[in-house]
């Protein structure tokens, strides 16, 4: 009796020890607030992974740049400081122009275009990330990007001199060519940047307009649908390889589900969040032909610059997209 008890206790202790030894927690930095659909999707992804692995892999999401600031996230995953993270794919444009293709103005402006562009980009991006010790898990687009201002904008000239919030180098170039003055501001800092007068206009999605309560500091939304940029979730390859086969498989399956779910969430967001902007008093405007042709010609110039810097790799990517 006594012996069985002891053995039983030892068996229980052993079992819980081996569970503890296997169970792992991954800290996951992300740049955007919890109210963002991308972040909600990541929380679901983490839940799926935990469930599929019986809690052996827990992903602990640190949103809104709380663990690493957005520009640091890719480096933190690369160096292994964290095993997994999310960031805006085209932030890596400075490493290689192929990363920035989805942020080129008017190259891909609908979800169908965005899907074809992602298919055309994917192999190149995978190879570039692989060389950095990273592996892509999934990518999800933001809704098409629109123009937020404090007045009606009918032409590129109307943008001249505006203090303009930007989020990457391609947007910075676009804004500069439009004659406005760019300032890089991360999403969690948008309300303060506007309320203190550091910026007075921005190009972003209806989603980010809503999560930052654009109606508190802006009045007009012009639906220019300029590009459909993506967020990407990556893992550190070494950290991934340390997982056993079943856990690796669970992560990849949850990632595939998150990608499919995220694209649907993004599509559903577009109209829904424009409606929220409108309900809160923002004037929604269809762009004038003059504004669009002015912006498009800036886009054409930027595509030429991009081609020149992206070389043969860029050409292959573009021709795959334009097939």
Query: What residues line the site for ligand PCA (CB under 6 A)?
Result: 88, 142, 167, 187, 204-205, 207-208, 229
Separation CA 215–CA 246 (nearest Å): 47
DSSP state of 63: -
DSSP state, 140?
E
Rounded least distance, CB 253 to ligand PCA, Å: 27
Residue placing its CB nearer to ligand PCA in the complex, 56 or 223: 223
CB of 205 to ligand PCA, least distance (A): 3
- 246: tokens are 């079943």
User: What are the structure tokens assigned to 254, written together?
Assistant: 């949850």
Q: Let me know if 100 is exposed, middle or buried by CB neighbors in 10 A (0-12, 13-18, 19+).
A: buried
Rounded to a whole number of angstroms, the minimum distance from the CB of residue 152 to ligand PCA is 22
Phi, psi of 222 (to 5 degrees): -105, 125
Cα 224 from Cα 214, distance rounded (Å): 17
88/174 with CB nearer ligand PCA: 88
Closest contact distance (angstroms) between CB of 94 and ligand PCA is: 16
Distance CA 306, CA 308 (A): 5
User: Which whole-number Å values give the CA distances from 305 to 174, 309, 311, in the listed order?
Assistant: 12, 6, 10
| Torsion (CA) 311, 317, 319, 320 in degrees, nearest 10 | 160
Tell me how far, at minimum, the Cβ of 200 lies from ligand PCA, in Å. Answer: 16
Residue closer to ligand PCA (CB basis): 192 or 293: 192
Of residues 107 and 250, the one with the C-beta less far from ligand PCA: 107
Q: How far is the CB of 39 from ligand PCA (least distance, A)?
A: 12
Of 142 and 194, CB closest to ligand PCA? 142
Q: How far is the CB of 306 from ligand PCA (least distance, A)?
A: 19
Q: What is the rounded CA–CA span in Å between residue 302 and residue 19?
A: 54
Nearer Cβ to ligand PCA (243/276)? 276
Q: In angstroms, what is the minimal distance from the CB of 32 to ligand PCA?
A: 7
Q: Which is nearer to ligand PCA, 159 or 199 (CB)?
A: 199
Cβ-Cβ contacts under 8 Å for 276 (sequence gap 6 or more): 206, 210
Nearest 5°: the CA angle 221, 105, 93 is: 120
Q: How far apart (Å, rounded) are the C-alpha atoms in residues 147 and 141? A: 17
Please state, in angstroms and rounded to a whole number, the distance separating the CA atoms of residues 146 and 58. 36
Q: Which of 187, 258 has the CB closer to ligand PCA?
A: 187
Neighbours of 35 (CB within 10 A): 13
Closest of 53, 46, 83 to residue 67, by C-alpha: 83
Minimum separation from the CB atom of position 203 to ligand PCA (A): 8
| Cβ-closest position to ligand PCA | 205
Bridge pairing between strands 181-184 and 134-141: unpaired
Pick between residue 86 and residue 259 the one whose CB is nearest to ligand PCA.
86
């Amino acid at each position: 009796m006594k012996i069985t008890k002891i053995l039983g206790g030892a068996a229980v202790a052993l079992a819980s020890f081996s569970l503890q030894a296997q169970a792992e927690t991954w800290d996951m930095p992300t740049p955007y607030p919890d109210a963002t659909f991308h972040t909600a999707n990541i929380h679901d992804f983490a839940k799926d992974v935990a469930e599929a692995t019986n809690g052996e892999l827990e992903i602990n999401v640190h949103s809104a740049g709380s663990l690493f600031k957005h520009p640091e996230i890719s480096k933190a995953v690369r160096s292994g400081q964290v095993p997994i993270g999310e960031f805006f794919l085209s932030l890596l444009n400075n490493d290689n122009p192929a990363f920035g293709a989805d942020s080129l103005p008017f190259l891909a402006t609908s979800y169908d275009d965005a899907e074809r562009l992602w298919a055309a980009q994917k192999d190149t991006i995978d190879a570039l990330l692989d060389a950095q010790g990273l592996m892509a898990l999934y990518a999800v687009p933001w809704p098409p990007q629109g123009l937020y201002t404090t007045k009606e904008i009918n032409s590129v000239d109307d943008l001249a001199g505006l203090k303009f919030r930007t989020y990457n180098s391609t947007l910075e170039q676009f804004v500069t060519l439009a004659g406005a003055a760019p300032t890089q501001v991360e999403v969690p800092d948008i309300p303060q940047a506007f309320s203190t007068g550091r910026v007075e206009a921005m190009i972003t999605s209806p989603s980010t307009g809503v999560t930052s309560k654009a109606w508190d500091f802006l009045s007009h939304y012009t639906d220019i649908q300029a590009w459909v940029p993506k967020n990407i979730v990556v893992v550190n390859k070494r950290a991934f390889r340390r997982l056993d086969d079943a856990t690796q498989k669970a992560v990849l399956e949850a990632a595939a589900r998150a990608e499919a779910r995220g694209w649907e969430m993004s599509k559903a967001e577009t109209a829904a969040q424009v409606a929220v902007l409108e309900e809160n008093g923002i004037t929604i405007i269809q762009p004038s032909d003059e504004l669009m042709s002015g912006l498009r010609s800036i886009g054409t110039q930027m595509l030429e610059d991009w081609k020149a810097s992206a070389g043969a790799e860029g050409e292959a990517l573009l021709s795959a997209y334009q097939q």
